Amino acid sequence: MNPAYQENHGEPVSALDNVRLYFLDHGGNRVLSAMSDGSNIKVVVEECCSGPDGIAIDSDRGHLYWTNMGEPSRNDGFIMRCDLDGGNVTTIVPPGKTHTPKQLVIEPSGSHLYWCDREGMRVMRCRLDGSSLETLVQAGYGAHDQADARNWCVGIALDLERQHLYWTQKGAAKSNTGRILRAPLNPIHKGVLSASRDDIETLFNGLPEPVDLELDMTTMTLYWTDRGALPFGNTLNRSRLQECGVTKLHSEVLAAGFNEAIGLSVHAAQNVAYVSDLGGAIHRVALDGSRPSVILRNAGKLTGIAAM
């Protein structure tokens, strides 16, 4: 393990420092945790991982779920679960049932997992035990579509109150062809195949390379990381969604200067977001964009992050 470096700016953030972070080291194939002041770093799981990318916490049952991309050329991605202390590691979705799973979320009622599958070009879900696996959105089929990164589904967020699904299709690296899309959780027209849906809205296009999503339903604010090129890439962004439609939507950059920003965990009640990047840092940013700080450095090649 690369020695993680804790950076402390001496700010009075004791309430925030009681938060425990769980995050993924893609390069080291590990699940890690630390307190949100950077202290008490632990290796939770260091076996059974293969390109870990997205992580979610089921606090009611004391479980972590995380995706593993596997080797993209092999179509061998899978999803694992363990206890919060790393015990009872279990395969939920076995290799081959999803291609390269990325960000995942647990619906608040606790009955389903939702995730994006990058090279699979789809949005998927299953029950917490891996049963009832299904595809909700299919952005493309076959090698030709798969070679076009505009079809790659990566980040995901849910609005169960309004029965909406949000996801990113990131586009090629630094290409400004990324999009954020929205659709009903279930097709408006019953029996419509996932690849034939006509109920999908494009909220944003021309983004550098959008990755992970978070939705604060109390304020209907959508947050996302972007790992693309400056000035709008390597950023934390947000947009206040409007019930009347999408014509007035605009985005704003809350923080910039990350090193390949990937993971995102928003705690609206504490007015803070945590961002992890491939450069190995975990950042804390107030939701008004102020007081950005680095709480860990050199912690690995970091992807997904979740806080509890």
Order of all β-strands in the sheet with 282-286 = 261-267, 272-277, 282-286, 293-296
| Per-residue pLDDT tens digits for 32-48 | 999 999 999 999 999 99
In sign, the C-alpha dihedral spanning 297, 301, 306, 308 is negative
Domain ranges of the chain: 20-307
Residue 12's pLDDT band (cuts 50, 70, 90): very low
25 versus 7: the higher-pLDDT residue is 25
Backbone angles phi, psi at 236, to 5 degrees: -110, 130
CATH classification code of 20-307: 2.120.10.30
Q: Which long-range contacts (CB under 8 A, 24 or more apart) does 198-206 make?
A: 200/137, 201/246, 203/166, 203/179, 203/239, 203/241, 203/246, 203/249, 204/179, 204/180, 204/239, 204/249, 204/251, 205/177, 205/178, 205/179, 206/176, 206/177, 206/178
| Per-residue pLDDT tens digits for 122-168 | 999 999 999 999 999 999 999 999 999 999 999 999 999 999 999 99
Q: Tell me if residue 144 falls in helix, strand or coil.
A: helix
Judge whether residue 198 has pLDDT over 80.
yes
